[in-house]
Amino acid sequence: MSLAGFDHVFAHAVPVQMSGGLSLRVAPPAVTALLKIVAYMEDPYRRAKDLQDMRVILARYEENGDRLFSDAVFDAQLPDFEFANAFLFGLDLREFATNEDAGYIGRFLDRFPARDREGRFEEDLDFGTKTFRGQIEAFREGFIGGQ
């Protein structure tokens, strides 16, 4: 495994208060997710768990935050509100991603087919796969859309 993206662990660490007055600096969710993308892209067969984790992140990122109702989300005109979490993740990742990070993210996004020209997915996909692809598209829009 390379150390791609690892510099963000230290640069963006946030303090978390533990019991007994102990304070630890931990990587925020967007940085942890970037590391999962890097690990998955470097060895997708051995790191399949990271892809499963990404599905959870895309579905739950900022799930209890007011940002889900922000102008940025509404301006994105996402096909469904359930994709707002993935869109916000893309926006946040774009804020600190380096060119090297963007290369990994681009290859990650390229692994998953986009919608067809009419904006639909293949009809024979199960609901979970269609949802994941919608999340990937929203993530793509958040990460690439505003550049």
pLDDT-flagged residues of the chain (< 50): 116-118, 121, 147
Q: What is the pLDDT of residue 64?
A: 87
pTM of the predicted structure, to 2 decimals = 0.83
Report how far residue 57's alpha carbon sits from residue 72's, in angstroms, rounded to the nearest whole number: 19
Determine contact, residues 60/109, Cβ cutoff 8 Å: no
pLDDT value, residue 119: 52
- Separation of alpha carbons 61 and 37, rounded Å: 15
Whole-number pLDDT of residue 3:
66
Rounded Cα gap, residues 147 and 145, in angstroms: 6
The pLDDT tens digits of the residues spanning 79-101 come to 889 999 999 999 999 999 999 99
